[in-house]
Amino acid sequence: MANHKSALKRARQSEQRRLRNRMRKTRMKGVIKAVQQAVSAHSPELAVAKLKEAISEIDKTAARGVIHKNKAARKISRLTRHVNRLTA
């Protein structure tokens, strides 16, 4: 454990950021799962609506630096491909 005042503060900040990042990642995973469930239920209208929500959430997560921008692009691309196959 840290001993200096500045190191203690840094530890507190790191813990807060870790929890905040975990919350954002969990939220992102939840919306991704919602899109996948809509696709597996063969519901094109719902899948398109959930995809729009998921894209927004994934972009926000990447913009805040929780995940890499390329990972965000890859996830969005794969989800879009699944939804497009369903609607075609």
User: Tell me, what's the pLDDT at 80?
Assistant: 97
Q: For 12-62, how does the pLDDT look when each residue is reduced to its tens digit (9 = 90+)?
A: 999 999 999 999 999 999 999 999 999 999 999 999 999 999 999 999 999
Class of residue 23 by CB neighbours under 10 A (exposed 0-12, middle 13-18, buried 19+): exposed
Measured between alpha carbons, how far is 88 from 86 in angstroms, rounded to an integer?
Answer: 6
Structural domain spans, the chain: 5-87
Give Cα separations from 26 to 32, 44, 61, 67, 86 (angstroms).
10, 24, 10, 12, 26
Q: What is the pTM of this model?
A: 0.88
- Match domain 5-87 to its CATH number in 3.40.50.300, 1.20.58.110, 3.40.630.10, 1.10.760.10: 1.20.58.110
Helix/strand/coil for 43: coil
Cβ neighbours of residue 80 closer than 8 Å, sequence gap 6 or more = 51, 55
Residue 1 pLDDT greater than 90, yes or no:
no
